[in-house]
Chains A and B, each alone.
Chain A
Amino acid sequence: MTHAGELISAYLDGELGRAEIDQLLDHLDGCGRCAAEMQDVQRVRSAVRSLPLLELPPGLIPEADAEVIPLHRNKGFLVGAAAAVVALVIAVAAIVTPSATPVSLEELNSRYAARASLDPAFGPAKVVVPYLSDFLE
C-alpha cells in the first residue's frame, strides 16, 4: 500500500469491514505519513465538534435582563454571527444535497450478470455466482 488517504477517511466514517480495518491498522503501524494524516483528520474533526454553542445576542428577547452593546463594540458577536451564517449555509447544503448511501456489491453484480447474459460467451463458462456461501452450509 502506498498511501491510504481514502481508507483513512472510510475508517473514520465507519465504512470499513473488519478485514479492511485490520489491514489499515497494520499499514499505519509502518507508515508515518499515513499515521500523521489520520491524526490530522481526527484533530480537525474533534475541533469542529467541540466548537462552543452560540448564545443569543443581547436584546433579542425583550424580557431578558441584558445590557445592550452596540455591534461595532462587540467583535465577539460579529465573529459569532459569521460562524452562525457559515453553519447555516452548511446545514442548508446538507439538507439539499442527496445523502450518499453506500452501494452494495449485490447491486453491481445484478447489473453485470444481466448484461453478461447477453454475451455470446455466456453460459456455463460465465455464470455469475458471487454469494453462494450464503446458500451453502
Chain B
Amino acid sequence: MRRVLAIVATLVLLPASAAVGAELDELLEESREASYSAEQVITCSTPDGVRDAVIELSQTSGELHLGAAVHPDVEVASGSGGWTLVREGSVISSANVQGAVDEAEARYAVDEGADIDYLGREATIYRMTGDGVVRAELVFDMEIGALLRVVTFNANGSVYCERRFVTFDPNAPEPEESESAAGEPAEADVESDLPVTLGEFERLDVYRDEEGFLFAYYSDGFFSFAVFQIPAVLTLDDASIVTLAERVYRRSFGPGQVTYAWESRSGGMALVGDLPPDMHEEVLAGLPAPQDPGLLRRLWRSLFG
C-alpha cells in the first residue's frame, strides 16, 4: 500500500532550445508543452540489483510537478535561467545560469518512428541511436505529444531503465502557486580544474555555492551527470564497494540514478547521474583518482574528526 506523497518539488522547465538531434529536440519540446497528470513506474536493472519506484507527475503550462521528494525537506524551483534550493524557508543553494548554460553537441538521432497503441491511446515509438547503438526507445502520445514511456539501454542492448506511465490523464489539474525564493545566486561559470570533456560528455557549466559545494554538470545530449568536489566525505548508507579500472569506489544505485563517492587528495568527490552502467568506467577514469589520504590525515581525522 502506498502512502500519499507530498508535493515538495516544483520543477519549472525552461523554454526548449537546441540540443539533441533536430527531430528528437522537437519531440521533447512538444512533450514539455503537453498538459497531463500521470503515474509513472520506474524500474532499473543495475549491477547491484533492481531499483524501482512509483511517482506521480502532473504537467501544465510548462511546469512539471513531482508527487515525490528529491529530499523531504528541500524544495527545488527552477526556470527563467536559474534554480534555487530552499530548506525550511531558507535558500541553501541557487544559481543564475542565464547565458551561461551551454548545451551538449548532438550525439543521438531518432528514427522515423512507428505507430503503436499505448494505454489505449495512439502513440509513436522512436528509437534513439548514438554511435550505431540503440540507447533509448521513446513513446510519445500522438494527440498531445506527452512522453509516455522511455526505455534506456546498455551498450550490449540490455535494458538499463524503463520509465512508463501506468495511468495517464490529459486533463491536468491547475498547479499550486509557488513563491519564488530570494537569494544571492551562485555563478555558473566559476573556475574549475574538472575536465572539459569526459568521454562523450561535455562539461556544460560549473557552480560553487555558499555551502562549499563545487560541482560541474556534464551531458551528452540525453544522459547527464554532475561531478562534485565537496568539503567532506559523502555518506552512502547502502553503498557497495566496486573496483573500476583498478580504482575503488563506493557506489549506490537509485531508481534511474547512480552515485559514486570517493576520496581524492583534494578532498571528497562524488558523481551523481543517470548514465547507464557501461558508461561509468570511462567517465570515472577522467576524474581525480581515489587516493589514500595518508597516515597523518587519517590520524588527524581519528583524533579530531
A binds B: yes
Name A's B-contacting residues (CB within 8 A). Answer: 1-7, 9-10, 12-13, 15, 17, 19-20, 23-24, 27, 41, 44-45, 48, 90, 94, 97-137
B11 near A113 with CB under 8 A, answer yes
B70 near A109 with CB under 8 A, answer yes
A106 near B74 with CB under 8 A, answer yes
A136 near B239 with CB under 8 A, answer no
0 or 1 for each of B43-68: is its CB under 8 Å from A? (1 = yes): 00000000001110101000010101
User: When A17-B236, A110-B93, A128-B256 are in contact, do A7 and B163 touch as well, CB less than 8 Å?
Assistant: no
User: When A117-B83, A121-B224 are in contact, do A1 and B150 touch as well, CB less than 8 Å?
Assistant: no
B85 near A102 with CB under 8 A, answer no
Which residue on chain B has the smallest CB distance to residue A114? B83
B241 near A9 with CB under 8 A, answer no
CB distance from A92 to the nearest CB of B (A): 12
**In the complex the two chains form, what is the Cα distance from A133 to B217 in whole Å?**
26
Residues on the B chain within 8 Å of A111, using CB: 85, 93, 207, 209, 213, 215, 226, 228
Q: Offer 26 A-B interface pairs, CB within 8 angstroms, sorted by A.
A: A17-B237, A23-B240, A41-B295, A94-B303, A98-B231, A102-B233, A102-B234, A102-B235, A103-B270, A108-B230, A108-B259, A110-B85, A110-B92, A115-B83, A115-B95, A115-B205, A115-B215, A116-B217, A119-B219, A120-B16, A120-B103, A123-B147, A124-B40, A129-B42, A129-B257, A135-B2
B262 near A101 with CB under 8 A, answer no
User: When A9-B301, A125-B163, A132-B68 are in contact, do A112 and B55 touch as well, CB less than 8 Å?
Assistant: no
Which residue on chain A has the smallest CB distance to residue B73? A106
CB distance from A64 to the nearest CB of B (A): 31
**In the complex the two chains form, what is the Cα distance from A41 to B207 in whole Å?**
37
B25 is an interface residue with CB less than 8 A from chain A: yes
A127 near B66 with CB under 8 A, answer yes
A110 near B76 with CB under 8 A, answer yes
Which residue on chain B has the smallest CB distance to residue A101? B232
Partner among B42, B53, B70 whose Cβ is within 8 Å of the Cβ of A110: B70
Partner among B71, B97, B243 whose Cβ is within 8 Å of the Cβ of A131: B71
CB distance from A7 to the nearest CB of B (A): 7
Name B's A-contacting residues (CB within 8 A). Answer: 1-3, 5-6, 9, 11-14, 16-20, 25, 28-29, 31-32, 38, 40, 42, 53-55, 57, 59, 64, 66, 68-72, 74, 76, 78-79, 83-85, 92-93, 95, 97, 101, 103, 136, 138, 146-148, 150, 163, 165, 205, 207, 209, 211, 213, 215, 217, 219, 221-222, 224-226, 228, 230-241, 243, 246-248, 250, 252, 254-257, 259, 262-263, 268, 270, 272-274, 290-293, 295, 298-299, 301-305
**In the complex the two chains form, what is the Cα distance from A44 to B298 in whole Å?**
10
Q: Which of A7, A94, A123, A131 has the most CB of B within 10 A?
A: A123
Residues on the B chain within 8 Å of A137, using CB: 1-3
**In the complex the two chains form, what is the Cα distance from A94 to B303 in whole Å?**
9
**In the complex the two chains form, what is the Cα distance from A27 to B84 in whole Å?**
42
A121 near B243 with CB under 8 A, answer no
Residues on the B chain within 8 Å of A129, using CB: 42, 53, 55, 66, 68, 70, 254-257
CB distance from A115 to the nearest CB of B (A): 5
**In the complex the two chains form, what is the Cα distance from A2 to B270 in whole Å?**
20
CB distance from A16 to the nearest CB of B (A): 9
A3 near B72 with CB under 8 A, answer no
Query: 6 additional contacts, CB 8 Å, given A6-B263, A13-B305?
Result: A19-B238, A114-B93, A118-B101, A129-B68, A129-B256, A134-B72
Q: Which of B53, B70, B239, B256 has the most CB of A within 10 A?
A: B70
**In the complex the two chains form, what is the Cα distance from A131 to B77 in whole Å?**
18
**In the complex the two chains form, what is the Cα distance from A123 to B207 in whole Å?**
22
Partner among B12, B19, B228 whose Cβ is within 8 Å of the Cβ of A120: B19
Partner among B57, B148, B207 whose Cβ is within 8 Å of the Cβ of A127: B57
**In the complex the two chains form, what is the Cα distance from A1 to B250 in whole Å?**
11
Which residue on chain A has the smallest CB distance to residue B64? A123
CB distance from B263 to the nearest CB of A (A): 5
